[in-house]
Structure 1
Amino acid sequence: MEITLQPVATVKNFRTEPIDDNWETIIAEIELADHIPTEAFNNISSFSHLEIIYYFDKVEKEDIVFSGHPRGNVNYPMTGIFGQRKKDRPNTIGLATVELLEHNNRTIKVKFLDAINGTPVLDIKPVFKEFQPKTEIKQPIWVADLMKNYWK
């Protein structure tokens, strides 16, 4: 089965390299694609957070490995691709929950989006409390170490 998607928007920021850390200071604009009407953003300001689904268009298919040490660090356990959030994924799709800072016509400004300048956006969804986890979130202890500088 082949699935064809067309970007609905594009990320605009000053970050051009997909580096794993120091994303907190990055403020990104997401600008609607020409074929998407401005009305698609109607009432978006009513939400504090959005989920951005985007495409890692710079990932080379030969970089995709289905298991390995996260970030190549042998101090972390061998972990399958579906137990990691790295960009080198089978379908090269990213997902981020962002804070909506501003809406202006065909553009929204967000914080906590770990996508580089020019990244194609596949979808934008508001965060509903009702879709958030109902039980405690569990994760291995190595994740906190891996993420310690991500949002700095």
Structure 2
Amino acid sequence: MSIPFTPIGFVRNHIIEKREGFTKKGERSEIEILPEFSDGLYKLNENTYIDVLFYFNRSEKYDLITRTITGEIKGVFASRSPHRPNGVGVTTVKLLEIQGAVLVVSGLDAMNNSPIIDIKPCDKSFFDEQSPTAAIQKEKLTNNPRFEIIKAIKSENYEWLLIQAAQLHGHFCPGLAMGVLAAVKAVNELNAHTDEMKDIWAITETNGCFSDGIQMVTGCTFGNKNLILKDHEKTALTLFRINDKGFRIYPKMQTSDILKEKFPDFDWRFHQIKIDKNQDDELRSRFKKVSRECSFELLQLPFEELFSMEEIETGIKP
């Protein structure tokens, strides 16, 4: 049975001799994708690590029992020898950038001019599931689904919380980051670190992205019936206990003005995509990247620079 391969591109680097695959692996390599396959790179830039499959085109023979680089004697399938029955190599590399149809990577040990067979996003999910801490983590989360969230709130691990919120929200954006920042502050000030949400209530004054950050961090949701929407089109959160004190947090200036001042690149791209409805794929891809970067950078700004906070007394019973 014949299994033909069609190269989708070729390696360009300074690895000329076979032994240089180890010494020059950390250097930058380029992978030139052939024009007819370049559309397949769409959204590959969303991955930091990718798997590159290539062909050992200078390997002429193989032995089923072989000596490895460390001197051990092993079967060829128990080694990473380039001398193989089908001559297929695979390496996980770091994707540094994409320039048109050229991938710039580090960590590639394929020789110059090696044919590329395929490219895939790196998948390490199996190893995550099998890690020694996975069983312990599962037990803790089974007993308290908010265990990791509470720990992150107390330690003010904003980045981790933003990533979790984005899984609910579907993407990264400054509004979501603002919600995370406000919610973490409110929960810590109110000392509302609990998986029992019966006496904790939240009021959000917008139905926008901000509110998804609020829901994920505080645990107050429409499903729990302890999230109240008062749609005043204001980026504001009130977190309180029934018949007790609470805190209202709101930006010191309009969110749009904050973004215009702190992140002008995001602001004008936002108008291109969201206001002018520009559908250009390249612009939309760039906006998504800028939005993600802006969201994480926003987390680094001092809370006092962005928000005002007022303590309130509540006799509220929703």
TM-score, length-scaled by structure 1: 0.78
Q: What is the CA–CA distance in structure 1 between the aligned matches of 2:27 and 2:48, rounded to whole Å?
A: 17
Aligned to 2:69: 71
Q: Residue type matched to 2:68 in 1?
A: P
* Secondary structure of 2:130 counterpart: coil
Do the aligned residues in 1 keep the contact of 2:52 with 2:93 (CA within 8 Å)? yes
Q: What is the CA–CA distance in structure 2 between the aligned matches of 1:98 and 1:131, rounded to whole Å?
A: 18
Runs of 4+ in 1 over 3 A off after TM superposition: 131-134
Q: Deviations over 1:19-64 (max 9, x none)?
A: 152134321100112332x321111111000000000000012xx1
Q: What is the CA–CA distance in structure 2 between the aligned matches of 1:129 and 1:135, rounded to whole Å?
A: 10
Give unpaired runs (5+ residues) of structure 1: 137-152
Q: Deviations over 1:65-105 (max 9, x none)?
A: 111331382xx2x2100110010011111000000001111
Residue 94 (structure 1) aligned with residue 99 (structure 2): no
Q: What is the CA–CA distance in structure 1 between the aligned matches of 2:50 and 2:42, rounded to whole Å?
A: 14
Do the aligned residues in 1 keep the contact of 2:22 with 2:109 (CA within 8 Å)? no
* Secondary structure of 1:71 counterpart: coil
Do the aligned residues in 1 keep the contact of 2:15 with 2:24 (CA within 8 Å)? no
Aligned to 1:57: 57
Percentage of matched positions with identical amino acids? 28
Superposed counterparts of 1:1-152, under 5 Å = 1-19=1-19, 20-36=21-37, 38-61=38-61, 64-71=62-69, 73=71, 76=72, 78-132=73-127, 134-135=129-130
Cα deviation for residue 133 of structure 1 reads 5.9
Do the aligned residues in 1 keep the contact of 2:6 with 2:117 (CA within 8 Å)? yes
Q: Residue type matched to 1:65 in 2?
A: D
Q: Residue type matched to 1:31 in 2?
A: E
Higher helix proportion, which one?
2
Q: What is the CA–CA distance in structure 2 between the aligned matches of 1:25 and 1:72, rounded to whole Å?
A: 20
Give unpaired runs (5+ residues) of structure 2: 132-318
* Secondary structure of 1:21 counterpart: helix
**CA pair 43-131 structure 1, distance change in 2 beyond 3 A:** farther
Q: What is the CA–CA distance in structure 1 between the aligned matches of 2:126 and 2:78, rounded to whole Å?
A: 21
Aligned to 2:315: none
Q: Residue type matched to 2:58 in 1?
A: K
Higher strand proportion, which one?
1
**If you compute each CA radius of gyration, which structure gives the higher value, 1 or 2?**
2
* Secondary structure of 2:36 counterpart: coil
TM-score, length-scaled by structure 2: 0.39
Q: What is the CA–CA distance in structure 2 between the aligned matches of 1:80 and 1:129, rounded to whole Å?
A: 25
